[in-house]
Structure 1
Amino acid sequence: MKEILLPKIRKWWKRGTAAFTRREHLFMIVMGGIVGAIGGYGAVGFRKLIAAFAQLGWGSFTRMEGKDLLVMALAAPFWVKVLVPTAGGLIVGIIVYFFAPEAKGHGVPEVMEAVALKDGRMRTRVFLAKAFASAICIGSGGSVGREGPIVQIGSGMGSVIGKALKVSGDRLRTLVACGAAAGIAATFNAPMAGTLFSLEIILSEFAASRFIPIVVSSVIATALSRHYLGNFPAFEVPPYDLLHYSELFLYLILGVLAGGVAYAFIRLLYGMEDFFEGWKLPEFVKPAIGGAIIGCVGFFSPQIFGVGYETITPVLRGEMLGAILIGLLVAKILATSITIGSGGSGGIFAPSLFMGAVLGGAFGQLAHTLFPHATASPGAYALVGMGAVVAGTTRAPITAMLIIFEMTADYRIILPLMFACTIGMVISALLSRESIYTLKLVRRGVNIHGGRELNVLKSLRVSQVMRPEIELVSPSAPLAELVTRMMASSHSHLFVIGEDNRIQGHICLEALRPILKDYETVSNVIIASDLMDKEVTVVRPSESLDMVMQLFGKFNLEEIPVVDKGKLIGTVRRSDVIEAYNREIFRLDMASGLATSFRLQQKMHSERLALVGEFLILEVPAPRSFVGKTLEELRLRERFGATVLTIKKEAKEEGEKEVSYILPTPSTRITEGDILIVFGLQKDLSRFPHS
C-alpha cells in the first residue's frame, strides 16, 4: 500500500507546486508574505541580539541590567569606554575577514549590486555573518545604525528562499526587495516607507508586478514588529506646525545646510576608508583600532555610541543647547566615518537621522531666537532636518519624507518636510553625483545601471535599422521631377546632394503642398534648391536609437538621413525605430521566461527547444574563439543567422552549483564557461560553431 501511495502523493505534489508557481501574481503574493514574516522575525531578533551584546559588553562592567546603551555608557569609566568598543571591533574584524567580507560596511550597496548584477543571488552565510557582526559592532558602541544590516539580513533571507525554490532571476530580485522592505518596515514601524525604500533604492523602479508582493511583505513584517515590540512611533514628539508660509524660506536654508552636511558625511566616510586602507596592518585588526578611537571620542561625547535614538528624542523636544548640538554633529560625522571606514559593520540611516536632528535643532534655536513669533519651536526644525539629511545621503526623498511621517505619526509638518527633503537632495546631488550607497559600488568599478538597461533603445544602433535606399535629387532638379519622385516614393523626404555626394538639404511633402495649387505656373521655374531646407538633422550609424527617437520628437520628423564621414549612406524612419523597440521588448520578455523552460529541458537531458515551423532555440557552450569578445564583435546574426536570447552562467557556491541567466546587450563580453541560448532557423543553427 505504501509503495502505491507515496509515488502518487509525490506526483500530485509536483503537479500542484508546478501549477502554483505558474500563477505569477498568486505565487509572488504568497512568497512576499512568507519573506515578510521571516524578515519581520529577523528584525525583531536582530534588535534583541543588539540588546544582548550591549548587556554583555557594557552591563558586565556597570552592573546595570535592562538599561539603554547610552545610560550604561554614561556610567562607565574611561577605560571601559575604550575597552568595550575595541574588543567589539576586534570580534567584528575576525567575523568579516574570515567568514564573509560582504558583512563589512553598511550593507545596502551589496544588496543593490546583487539585485542589479547577480539576479538577486546572495551567499547564505552573508546574512548570518552580518547579523552577528553588526549586532556586536552596535552593541559594543560602534557609531552605526541597525537599518542597513536589517536590510541585508532580510534581503539575504529572501535570496535564500528564492534559490531554494529555484525561481527565475526576475522573481528572485523581487523576493530580495521584499526582504529589504520587511527589514525597514519592521525596524521603523513604517510599512509605507519600507515599500518605497525597496522600490526607490533597491530596485530603482515602480513596476506594479513588484509593488504588490513588496507591500504584502512590508505589512506582515510591520504587524509582527508591532506584536512583539509594541505599536508606537519611533520618536515621541510634541505637535509641530507651520506657523506661517514665510517660514518656508527658513526651511529652504535648512535644506541647503542639510545637503552640505550630507555631502560632507559622504566624503569623510569614504575618505576614512581610504585612510585605513593605507595602513599596512591585518584587516581584522583595523576595526579594533577604530573602536579604540570611538571610545576616546565617546569619552567626551557619549551620545555618539550606538544607534543614537536615545539622543534624538530630547533634541526633538528642544531640551539641548545649540552649541552642544553642533559639537554632537561634528562628533557623529567623525565617529560614524571611523566606525565604517575602519571596517566596522552597521548602517548609515540612523546616523543620518541623528545628524539631521542635531543640525535642525541647532538651526531651529537660532531661527527661533531671531524670529520668536514667526517660527515654530526648534524641535520642528530638528524633525525636518532628519528627513533632509537622509534625502541628501541616500538620494531617496520620497522614502525620507514617508519615514519621518510614519516615525512621528504627525502629518502637520509635511509641507516643510517635503520642501527641505527636496532641497537637501538637490544640493547633495549638485555637490556629488553618487549617493552614499552607489559611491561605494563606483569605487569598486561596479556600474549597477549597466546591469539593468532602463531604455532598450540605448543598446540598439542606427546601423541595425538603417535603410540603404534613399530618394536623392540634384539641386537643379525641376519641380515636375520632385512631384513625380515624391508621389512614386514610399519615403517622406527627398534629399538634395551635390556632386561630392554630400547632403545639402532636404525637401518634405509639406514643403511641396503649398505650391501645387500654382503648379502650372511655377513648374518650369522652381527647382530643388529653391524648396530645400538647408537645416538638416543627421545621425551617424554608431549612434543609439534612443537619441534618434528624441530627435524625431524634438523636430517632429518622420525620417532622418544617416551620414558617414559627411557622406549620405541611408535613412532611418520613425516607424522602423518603433518596430525595433517592439521587437527588442519581445526578445527580452521571451528571454526572461526561458530560464524556466530550460530547467525543464535540462531535466529531460535535452539541449534543444523546438518552436513553431523551422525555428529552433539551441543551448550551446561558448566556443573558445568567442571568449573575451563582445556580441557586437562576434556579429553572430550576420555570420550564422543566430540571435543570442540569454546567457547561462554556472558557478559553484558553498558546494552547490548556482545557475543564473543574464539578458545580453551588444557590449556583453563572453567569458569562459558561458552557455549561449541562441535562436534562429534550424538550417542556420546547423552552421553555428560548437565547442
Structure 2
Amino acid sequence: MKGFFKLFVLPFFVGAIGGFSALFMRELIRYSSKLAVAIDFFNQDSRFYLVIIPILFIISAFTIKNFLNNPTNPTIDSVARSIVLKKGRLDYKKGIATVVLSAINIGFGVPVGREGPIAKLGGSLSSLFLKGMRFENFNVPLLVSCGVSSALAATFNAPIAAVIFGLEIILGRLSFNVIIPLTISSAVGVVISRYFLGNYPAFVVPQLSYNYKLLFLIPLFAFLFAVVVYVFEYVFESSVNFFTKLNLTFYSKALIGGLIVGVLLWLWPDAASLGYKQVSYLFSLKYSYADALMLSLVKMVALAITFASGMFGGIFAPSIFGGAFFGYALGGVIHNFFPFVNPLDVALIGTASISASISSAPFRSTLIVAELAQNYHMILPLMISSVMTVYFSHILQDKINFSRSAMQKGFDLMNEKYRNELIKVKVVNFIDPSIMSLKREQFIKDIVFELMNSSSSYFSVVEDDRLVGVLSFRDVRLVGEFENDKVKVKDIMTPNPNYLTLDSSGLDVFELLSHIDVDYIPIVENDESLRYMGMLDVNAFLKFVSFLYFKENLFRKEEVLKREGK
C-alpha cells in the first residue's frame, strides 16, 4: 500500500499543485494585459512601449536586487539544474515572486516566455508541500520533478512532452518508479488545464503534410536555424560585454536595456509579449516573407538584450516565435527553387529546431511542438531537423555537449568558474598503481580470482607497453558462452577502448564519463604511442572535483567568521 501511495497518490497531489501553478500564471498574465490596456495613454499605439518597457525594467531590477537576492533567470533548464544540484530543495518565496514579476512583464509586452517561471513555481510549491508534510523515505527530487512536469504539461497542453522533460532533463533514467509518478502528475496537470481553459492548442496550425523530398533539404534548414541561434547567443554575449565595459550599475543597465527593447517593440509591436497569437496569424498566412524574417530577428535580438539587462522570463515561447517566423521566411525563399516546399511546413520545423537548439533537448522540443500544434504526422521532419540543429549549434558555438550527464551526477558544468577549475585538473594525479593490467594471451581461469579480489571491475589489456583493450566483468560473463575452459583475455576483451592521455583535464574526464559508466579509466602517454601509464580512479577524481565545487563558498564563510571573531 505504501508503494501505491508513493507511485500514485503523492504524484496526484503534486500534479494538482503544478496544474494550478500554470493556471495562476496565466491568470496573472491576463489581468496584467487588462491593466496595460487600462493605463495605455497612447490608446493602444506602439509608442506605449517606449515608455512602459524601461519603467518595467527598472521596477524588475529593483525587485530582483532587493527582494530576490540576484537569482539566476528561471528558464526551464535552470530549474532542472536546481532540482538536481539542490536535491529538490527550491525556495517557494522566490518561485512566487518570479512568477508575479514575469507575469506582469509579459502582460505589458516584455518579449519573454512564461514556461520557465511556471516550472519554477510548480517545483517550488511542490517542494514546500513535501517539506510541510514531512514525508520520510521519499524521493524528493523525483516528486519535485513531477510538480515541474505537471506545470509544463498544463502550460503546453502536452502531457507526453512533459513526461519526456522529466526523463530527459531532470532525472536521466528510465524505471518503473520514475515513469509512473511523472505520468500521473503530468496527466493531472493537463486535466486541470483542460477543465478550466479548454482543450485548445497554444497556437492554431492547420493540418500540414509534406513531400518526402523535403527531408533532403532538412540539413540546409537545420544549419540555417543553428545560425539564427548563434546570432542570438552572439547578441546576448555582446550585450553582456557591452554593459560590463561601461561598468554600469544594475539599474543603469536595466534602463538602457529597457530603452533599446522599447524602441524595438515600438517599431515592431508584433514582437511583444509571448507571441502565440502572432504565430497563429502566421499560419493563417497574414504575414509576408520579408515581415516574417524581420520579426524573427527582432524577437531574438530583443530577447537577448532583455536577458543581458538582467531581466527574468522564459525562453521557450520566444524560440517558438523566432523559429516559426524565420522558418516561414526561409520556406518562402526555398519555395521559389523547389515548389514542393510548403513555407508553413518549414515554419513548424523551425519552431522545434530553434527551441531544441537553445535547450539542447531535441526529443522534448519535438514532442512539445507536435502536441502544441496537434500535427503529430509532422514528427519525422521535426525530429530530424531538431537533432541536426542541435548538432550544428554545438559546432558553431563550441558548446559542451556533456553538461547534462555531469549535472545528473551533481556537477554544474554551466558554471564558468568551475569549468576553468576543471581545466586545471590533471589526470596524472589520480592514477591508481595498484590496479593490475592484463595480457592478451592470459587464460581467464588463471586470473579470475585476482580479478575478483581487485578493487576495480575494469582492467587494461597491455601488450609491449601499449594499451590494446579493456576487460570488464561484463566481458567476463561471456565466458559462459564458450564450450571450453581455454578462453583467453583476447577472446572477450573490448579492443580499441576509450582512454585519457596525460594531457587530459578534468573536463575530459567528464566527457568520457558521459559515454561510459566505469570506476577506472585507462591513461596513456599520448594518442600516437598509446603507451600505457595506469588507471585513473574515478571515485578519487569525483571526490576531488566535489571539493573544487564548494571550496570557494566554504572558505569564504570561514573567512567571514574569522573577521567577525566567531
**Against the structure 1 CA distance between its residues 262 and 203, is the aligned structure 2 distance closer, same or farther, given a 3 Å change threshold?**
farther
Deviations along 1:457-481, whole A, 9 cap, x unmatched?
x9x976286259x99xxxxxxxxxx
CA drift of 1:569 comes to: 12
Q: Are positions 1:182 and 2:150 aligned together?
A: yes
**Against the structure 1 CA distance between its residues 346 and 503, is the aligned structure 2 distance closer, same or farther, given a 3 Å change threshold?**
closer
Secondary structure at 2:414 match in 1: helix
In the alignment, the residues of structure 2 paired with residue 232 and residue 137 of structure 1 have an alpha-carbon distance, to the nearest angstrom, of: 24
Q: 2:280 aligns with which of 313, 317, 341?
A: 313
Secondary structure at 1:442 match in 2: coil
**Against the structure 1 CA distance between its residues 275 and 195, is the aligned structure 2 distance closer, same or farther, given a 3 Å change threshold?**
farther
For residue 25 of structure 2, what is the aligned residue in structure 1? 46
In the alignment, the residues of structure 1 paired with residue 154 and residue 200 of structure 2 have an alpha-carbon distance, to the nearest angstrom, of: 12
Query: After the TM superposition, which of the residue ranges 30-39 and 159-168 deviates more from structure 2?
Result: 159-168
For residue 95 of structure 1, what is the aligned residue in structure 2? 63
CA drift of 1:113 comes to: 2.9
Structure 1 runs, 4 residues or longer, greater than 4 Å off: 166-170, 434-441, 486-492, 502-506, 535-544, 560-564, 568-572, 670-674
Aligned-CA RMSD value: 4.4
For residue 37 of structure 1, what is the aligned residue in structure 2? 16
CA drift of 1:283 comes to: 1.7
For residue 442 of structure 1, what is the aligned residue in structure 2? 414
Deviations along 1:428-485, whole A, 9 cap, x unmatched?
12222148998997254356xx9xxxxxxx9x976286259x99xxxxxxxxxx99xx
Q: 2:383 aligns with which of 415, 418, 433?
A: 418
CA contact (8 A) 1:394 1:435 kept: no
Show the 5 A alignment for 1:154-165. 154-165=122-133
In the alignment, the residues of structure 1 paired with residue 73 and residue 169 of structure 2 have an alpha-carbon distance, to the nearest angstrom, of: 17
Q: Are positions 1:219 and 2:184 aligned together?
A: no
CA contact (8 A) 2:21 2:122 kept: yes
Show the 5 A alignment for 1:609-620. none
For residue 407 of structure 1, what is the aligned residue in structure 2? 372
In the alignment, the residues of structure 2 paired with residue 419 and residue 671 of structure 1 have an alpha-carbon distance, to the nearest angstrom, of: 43
CA drift of 1:673 comes to: 12
CA contact (8 A) 1:103 1:130 kept: no
CA drift of 1:200 comes to: 1.6
In the alignment, the residues of structure 2 paired with residue 362 and residue 461 of structure 1 have an alpha-carbon distance, to the nearest angstrom, of: 54
In the alignment, the residues of structure 2 paired with residue 421 and residue 331 of structure 1 have an alpha-carbon distance, to the nearest angstrom, of: 22
Show the 5 A alignment for 1:377-526. 377-432=342-397, 433-434=399-400, 442-446=414-418, 463=432, 466-467=435-436, 504=464
Q: Tell me the TM-score normalized by structure 1.
A: 0.61
In the alignment, the residues of structure 1 paired with residue 524 and residue 169 of structure 2 have an alpha-carbon distance, to the nearest angstrom, of: 41
Show the 5 A alignment for 1:95-174. 95-101=63-69, 104-166=72-134, 171-174=139-142
What amino acid is aligned across from residue 91 of structure 2 in structure 1?
A: R
CA contact (8 A) 2:203 2:277 kept: no
Unaligned runs of 5+ in 2: 452-461, 467-494, 555-566
CA contact (8 A) 1:394 1:436 kept: no
CA drift of 1:150 comes to: 0.8
CA contact (8 A) 1:262 1:428 kept: yes
Higher-helix-fraction structure? 2
CA drift of 1:419 comes to: 1.8
CA contact (8 A) 1:387 1:400 kept: yes
**Against the structure 1 CA distance between its residues 317 and 253, is the aligned structure 2 distance closer, same or farther, given a 3 Å change threshold?**
farther
Q: 2:40 aligns with which of 34, 42, 61?
A: 61
What amino acid is aligned across from residue 349 of structure 1 in structure 2?
A: F
Deviations along 1:595-643, whole A, 9 cap, x unmatched?
xxxxxxxxxxxxxxxxxxxxxxxxxxxxxxxxxxxxx59xxxxxxxxxx
CA drift of 1:168 comes to: 6.8
Deviations along 1:344-402, whole A, 9 cap, x unmatched?
11011011111110111011212223333x23x32121111111111111111111111
In the alignment, the residues of structure 1 paired with residue 464 and residue 273 of structure 2 have an alpha-carbon distance, to the nearest angstrom, of: 70
What amino acid is aligned across from residue 155 of structure 1 in structure 2?
A: G
**Against the structure 1 CA distance between its residues 32 and 465, is the aligned structure 2 distance closer, same or farther, given a 3 Å change threshold?**
farther
**Against the structure 1 CA distance between its residues 335 and 170, is the aligned structure 2 distance closer, same or farther, given a 3 Å change threshold?**
farther
For residue 256 of structure 1, what is the aligned residue in structure 2? 223
What amino acid is aligned across from residue 34 of structure 2 in structure 1?
A: Q
Secondary structure at 1:357 match in 2: helix
CA contact (8 A) 1:269 1:337 kept: yes
CA contact (8 A) 1:466 1:562 kept: no
In the alignment, the residues of structure 2 paired with residue 123 and residue 133 of structure 1 have an alpha-carbon distance, to the nearest angstrom, of: 16
CA contact (8 A) 1:102 1:110 kept: no
Deviations along 1:233-271, whole A, 9 cap, x unmatched?
12222221112x222123332122112212222232233
Query: After the TM superposition, which of the residue ranges 99-108 and 34-43 deviates more from structure 2?
Result: 99-108
CA drift of 1:104 comes to: 4.9
CA contact (8 A) 1:142 1:291 kept: no
**Against the structure 1 CA distance between its residues 319 and 24, is the aligned structure 2 distance closer, same or farther, given a 3 Å change threshold?**
same
Q: Decide which structure has the larger Cα Rg and report it.
A: 1
In the alignment, the residues of structure 2 paired with residue 139 and residue 104 of structure 1 have an alpha-carbon distance, to the nearest angstrom, of: 21
For residue 665 of structure 1, what is the aligned residue in structure 2? 543
What amino acid is aligned across from residue 76 of structure 2 in structure 1?
A: V
For residue 76 of structure 1, what is the aligned residue in structure 2? 45
Deviations along 1:470-521, whole A, 9 cap, x unmatched?
99xxxxxxxxxx99xx9899779xxxxxxxxx98579xxxxxxxxxxxxxxx
For residue 27 of structure 1, what is the aligned residue in structure 2? 6
In the alignment, the residues of structure 1 paired with residue 289 and residue 387 of structure 2 have an alpha-carbon distance, to the nearest angstrom, of: 25
**Against the structure 1 CA distance between its residues 667 and 238, is the aligned structure 2 distance closer, same or farther, given a 3 Å change threshold?**
closer
For residue 361 of structure 1, what is the aligned residue in structure 2? 328
In the alignment, the residues of structure 2 paired with residue 488 and residue 206 of structure 1 have an alpha-carbon distance, to the nearest angstrom, of: 36
For residue 9 of structure 1, what is the aligned residue in structure 2? none
Unaligned runs of 5+ in 1: 1-19, 64-71, 451-457, 472-481, 493-501, 507-534, 555-559, 585-631, 634-663, 675-691
**Against the structure 1 CA distance between its residues 224 and 288, is the aligned structure 2 distance closer, same or farther, given a 3 Å change threshold?**
farther
Q: 2:254 aligns with which of 278, 287, 294?
A: 287
In the alignment, the residues of structure 2 paired with residue 265 and residue 170 of structure 1 have an alpha-carbon distance, to the nearest angstrom, of: 41
**Against the structure 1 CA distance between its residues 284 and 37, is the aligned structure 2 distance closer, same or farther, given a 3 Å change threshold?**
farther
What amino acid is aligned across from residue 265 of structure 1 in structure 2?
A: F
CA drift of 1:100 comes to: 1.1
**Against the structure 1 CA distance between its residues 227 and 490, is the aligned structure 2 distance closer, same or farther, given a 3 Å change threshold?**
closer
CA drift of 1:281 comes to: 3.8
In the alignment, the residues of structure 2 paired with residue 408 and residue 319 of structure 1 have an alpha-carbon distance, to the nearest angstrom, of: 18
What amino acid is aligned across from residue 293 of structure 2 in structure 1?
A: I
